[in-house]
Amino acid sequence: MPRERSARVDKGVNKSEIDAAWFGAMGTPDGFPAGILADSLGLPDLPVTRIENSCATGNDTVRDALYGVASGTADVALMMGADKVHETPSTREHMAMVAVKNHRHGLSNPKARLRFEVTIDEVLAAPTVVTPFGVYDCALQSDGAAALLLAAEDVVDRYTDRPVWIRGVGLGLDSVMRQHTSDLTTFPATVRAATRAFSMANLTPADVDVAEVHDFFTGIELISYEDLGFAEPAEAYKLMEAEVTCVGAALPVNSSGGLKTKGHPPGATGVAQSVELVEQLRGEARNQVDRARIGLAHNIGGPTAVAAVTILEGPGTHGS
């Protein structure tokens, strides 16, 4: 590989000559994972140490790299500082709005574990689990089960006169390690799963009338609005401010109360989402969405390495 020149390295440098790196980052609550730097350089074996020391982070990065070279453990060290503190306008208050909405929806669901309402102030004042998520931003890990019966079109009349149809399904994958991604505000697995499901269904996000979206953390629901195509990038917060995703509005999300109030038994959650949508599309749900015709279910996990999307169509609309 040729040595690359720059205005500051007048004889050039080959990145393979770098023995170690120190990466200063502070702006995001937990900073950027150190592996992002190694991955971006294409040097997966490069030892990278992330430094955070308030507004002294940059100079402390220089200091620590100096000690590395002075100790003889590295001949060539890379020092880098970076922050991106305005990635998206969504705030803790917008995540709190998700919790408030889903608790309100879950209040009338007898299968929800957390059947009580909360206020934005209560959500914001709750103990922190891991920054930026508090107690009310997180779903419960739960026991649970759900089941559906799927029948071929030529025999479905044996079982019901009001079948709900599966219009599209999609599975999307991504790297298991989040440090291998350059954007921490989108989940490519969800984008890929949604693209495949909508393509199979010959539908668009604008066709969805009701959705059950993965909300193991409130922030995941916000990010998923954008990944599923319900909002433009960095604009999910607008849906919360306008209450678009509340029952009675244009696109109700998690009318069941979501994982946030029901809990999350991983093997059952996606099936339970479709059960809720079947009831919605048949007009039999407790938090019934008026004239619901198309429903979407979404889960992501792994962590964020796999996502699945299912699109359902209500009785009497199949083939229309």
What is the per-residue pLDDT for 7? Answer: 46
Residue span(s) of the chain under CATH 3.40.47.10 come to 15-81, 92-313
Residue type, 28: T
Q: How far apart are CA 101 and CA 245, in angstroms?
A: 8
What is the per-residue pLDDT for 276? Answer: 95
- Per-residue CA distances from 247 to 102, 168, 254, 255, 287 (Å): 10, 24, 9, 6, 7
What's the CA angle centered on 312, arms 244 and 190, to 5 degrees? 65
Which CATH entry fits the domain spanning 15-81: 3.40.47.10, 3.40.50.150, 3.40.50.720, 3.30.360.10? 3.40.47.10
Burial tier of 17 (Cβ tally within 10 Å: 0-12, 13-18, 19+): exposed
Q: Please give the CATH architecture assigned to the domain spanning 92-313.
A: 3-Layer(aba) Sandwich (3.40)
The number of residues in the chain equals 320
Checking 293-296 for CB contacts under 8 A at 24+ apart, the result is 293/209, 293/317, 294/167, 294/203, 294/207, 294/208, 294/209, 294/210, 295/208, 295/209, 295/210, 295/211, 295/212, 296/197, 296/208, 296/210, 296/211, 296/212, 296/213, 296/228
Active-site option among 105, 214, 264, 298: 264
Each residue's pLDDT tens digit in the chain (320 positions)?
556 554 465 677 788 888 988 888 765 544 556 777 777 888 888 888 888 876 678 777 877 888 888 888 888 888 787 766 555 767 899 999 999 999 998 988 888 889 889 999 999 999 999 889 999 999 988 888 888 888 888 888 988 989 999 999 999 988 776 666 678 889 999 999 999 999 999 999 999 999 999 999 999 999 999 999 999 999 999 999 999 999 999 999 999 999 999 988 888 888 889 989 999 999 999 999 999 999 999 999 887 888 999 999 999 766 55
The verdict on pTM exceeding 0.85 is: no
The reply to whether 105 belongs to the active site is: no
Active-site option among 55, 103, 214, 318: 55
The reply to whether 55 belongs to the active site is: yes
